[in-house]
Structures are given as structure tokens and as C-alpha cells.
Amino acid sequence: MGNVVNFAHRGSSKICPENTMAAFRKALEQGATGIETDVQLTKDGHMVLIHDETLNRTTTGTGWVKDHTLEELKELDAGSWFHPDFRGERLPQLDELLELAKGGGTIINIELKNGVVPYEGLEEKVIQRVRDYGLSGQVVISSFNHYSLLLCKQIAPEIRTGILYMEGLYEPWAYAGTLQADALHAYHRAVLPEFVAAAKAAGKAYHPFTVNDPDEMRRLLQAGVDGIITDYPDRLDALLAEEK
């Protein structure tokens, strides 16, 4: 199987509230070798980790992330929606996750959430912070906004990028080449063994998402993918241990 990256999707997001430090730490305890997260900008330009463009689902706040300052967001509870035991969890800043990864080998997959909201300067801010922490070799930047990924490569050719896409993209490994992208972050049902082989021949890695069923994990591992994005890093860790 080689060194398949076990990416915890928003951390261990079935055990802990997604995109919180509790979820990230739990993922590492469960055997994750990578962490996937989502980054957006506050009203005053700070980078926070949250999936939805609005606060309503995963915090005690309401409205758009972009309309709140960092200090306002720090006052919100990002854990009690999931379970009372997590009351008091806060929206983390990107710095906190990078600090957690510093000094270890954890791969950090940072998804730029700039499809619905075109955050100006998001690419530059993320890249600068990654470089500040000396983690260029441990980061993959992904996005459904492929213009953004091309810009990232132009700014920082040393940082890997992964194109997020759903089903039906024709020869995605060839398309990835036009963006200078390094990886294919495909919906898992759009990944076939012959696709993985063609991608490897083109020098592109496959990191399918979001794979929670053990049988589907096995199928993808047998196909030769380079990483799997999952809500259950413990399940994937167990399967990888079986294969050793």
C-alpha cells in the first residue's frame, strides 16, 4: 500500500465537533497521518477554520463568517451543537493547526473555501502562513475553485495543490497538468483503478473523499490511491494496519 495518507476530514468529525482543535487532536490519536480542514477569512482578514460560509450550523452565532471580526468569532461556542461535552470549543485559527503539525510529519490539507465567497487575498495569506511555519512540504492546498489553485502554484510552486471535483471529469490527470496541480481530490465514486494507474503515470496522486465505508476504503486501497479523506481515521488506520 505504500505510505497512504490517512486524512481526517475536518478532524475526527464523527467523534468530535468538526474543524475544532478537539477534532484535530483526536484524529491524531486515532492514527490519522493527515488532517483536512477548511479556511475562510474574517471581516478583519484573519484565517479561521470552518466549513460552512455561515455560522448557523456549527456555532452559536448566525450570519456569514465574512461579516464578523475575529474577536466576535472568538466569543462563539463551536462545540455544544455537537454534544454538551464539547461546550466551550472555539473556532480555531489556521495558526493553531499549523502549530499542532509543526515538528511532526502530519500532512495538512487546507481547503480554500472561496467558491461562494471570493475572499480577496486568501491564497497569499494561507501561503505566507504556511511558509512562516516552515511547513511547505507538509501542506496540500485544495479547492473547488481551480482558478485559485493555479494562482497558488504561481505564488508558491513548492506547495502541493489538489483539485477538488465531483463525478465525470474527463482525464482529470491531464486537466490537473494544465493547472500544475499535484493531486486529484475526487469524489470517491469517480475513482477507478484504471484512472489511478493513468494518474500515477502522469505523476498525479489520488486523494478521494469522503470515504467512510470500510469496503469502499478497501476498494480504493486496492486501486492504489495515495491517500483517503475520511470522517473515520480509526477505521482507515485499522485497514492499513491489516495490510502491513
Residues 191/225, Cβ–Cβ less than 8 Å: yes
| Domains in the chain with CATH codes | 5-243 (3.20.20.190)
- Which residue among 9, 185, 188, 207 is the active-site one? 9
pLDDT of residue 32: 98
- Which residue among 46, 51, 68, 83 is the active-site one? 51
DSSP tag of 137: G
Judge whether 51 counts as a catalytic residue. Answer: yes
pLDDT of residue 1: 47
Task: Look up cell 494518474; give the residue.
Answer: 199
Question: From first to last of its 244 residues, what are the pLDDT tens digits of the chain?
Answer: 469 999 999 999 999 999 999 999 999 999 999 999 999 999 999 999 999 999 999 999 999 999 999 999 999 999 999 999 999 999 999 999 999 999 899 999 999 999 999 999 999 999 999 999 999 999 999 999 999 999 999 999 999 999 999 999 999 999 999 999 999 999 999 999 999 999 999 999 999 999 999 999 999 999 999 999 999 999 999 999 998 7
Q: What is the 3-state secondary structure (H, E, C) of 144-176?
A: CCHHHHHHHHHHCCCCEEEEEECCCCCCHHHHH
pLDDT of residue 103: 87
Sign of CA dihedral 216, 8, 170, 158: negative
Judge whether 207 counts as a catalytic residue. Answer: no
pLDDT of residue 2: 62
pTM: 0.98
Neighbours of 117 (CB within 10 A): 15
